[in-house]
């Protein structure tokens, strides 16, 4: 939703909400609410209300960043109590002040409050599912330490396409050693996508996306009036590196 707004695009929805009224949901077994951010979608709340009205109790599945738990006058705090089983993947890519740097528009106090509430719910199975990318990996140690209360099997990170502009494959090899050390020392080191990340970081190959990535982050900082670049721990090394580039590279 926020990306669409920044790009001045209209979100196109090919599904007519009216068709939901024609579906018998009474025998529904599972419902998966995917992203963007499903808890910002008014249709999500309409579906829950329809399930409740038809006395259906499917397993609800979510991918959410937990920045919001309500839309206008409708709240999941009122609706979730009608369901016995909710599987929630919390897409939290950083913690504390870094959460607000990594994911634009995040208020960490709200996310933390929502986490505390959800941890108390007996009908919610919570898993932590950060997306590991070149945007947030610089602060992943804080994230891994923060979630030391999570069972290892309930930590299910996702790895952004390593060959994309934001993939960790774009990071120059000279910056990787501290990142490798953090992942290898983590109690979550044996999780599948942590192992995948380590494999990528051990490969002494750099894609051509590094400067595209930095340019993208600087442009977004300027557009959003935010400070990702100012907070990245290798900022001064990047400055020094840029001054040593050949003139033809600087001009591109």
pLDDT tens digits, one per residue of 177-213: 999 999 999 999 999 999 999 999 998 766 678 999 9
For 160-169, the pLDDT digits (tens) are 998 899 999 9
For 95-110, the pLDDT digits (tens) are 999 999 999 889 999 9
> Rounded to whole angstroms, how far apart are CA atoms 211 and 213?
5
> Rounded to whole angstroms, how far apart are CA atoms 197 and 144?
14
Crossing angle of helices 192-202/177-185, nearest 10°?
A: 150
Is the pLDDT assigned to residue 156 strictly greater than 80? yes
State CA 89 to chain mean position distance.
Answer: 10
């Amino acid at each position: 939703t926020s990306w669409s707004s920044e790009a001045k695009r209209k979100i196109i929805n090919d599904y007519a909400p009216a068709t939901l009224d024609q579906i018998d949901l009474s025998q529904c077994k599972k419902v998966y609410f995917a992203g963007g951010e499903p808890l910002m979608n008014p249709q999500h709340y309409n579906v829950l209300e329809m399930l409740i009205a038809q006395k259906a109790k499917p397993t609800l599945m979510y991918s959410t960043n937990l920045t919001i738990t309500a839309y206008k006058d409708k709240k999941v705090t009122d609706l979730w109590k009608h369901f016995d089983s909710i599987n929630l993947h919390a897409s939290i890519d950083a913690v504390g002040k870094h959460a607000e740097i990594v994911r634009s528009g995040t208020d960490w106090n709200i996310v933390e409050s929502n986490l505390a509430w959800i941890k108390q719910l007996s009908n919610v199975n919570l898993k932590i599912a950060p997306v590991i990318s070149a945007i947030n990996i610089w602060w992943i140690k804080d994230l891994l330490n923060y979630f030391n209360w999570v069972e290892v099997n309930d930590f299910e990170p996702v790895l952004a396409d390593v060959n994309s502009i934001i993939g960790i494959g774009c990071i120059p090899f000279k910056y990787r050693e501290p990142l490798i050390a953090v992942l290898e020392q983590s109690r979550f080191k044996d999780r599948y996508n942590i192992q995948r990340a380590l494999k990528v970081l051990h490969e002494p190959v750099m894609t051509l996306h590094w400067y595209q990535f930095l340019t993208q982050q600087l442009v977004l900082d300027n557009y959003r009036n935010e400070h990702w670049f100012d907070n990245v721990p290798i900022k001064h090394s990047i400055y020094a590196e840029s001054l040593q580039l050949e003139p033809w590279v600087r001009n591109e």
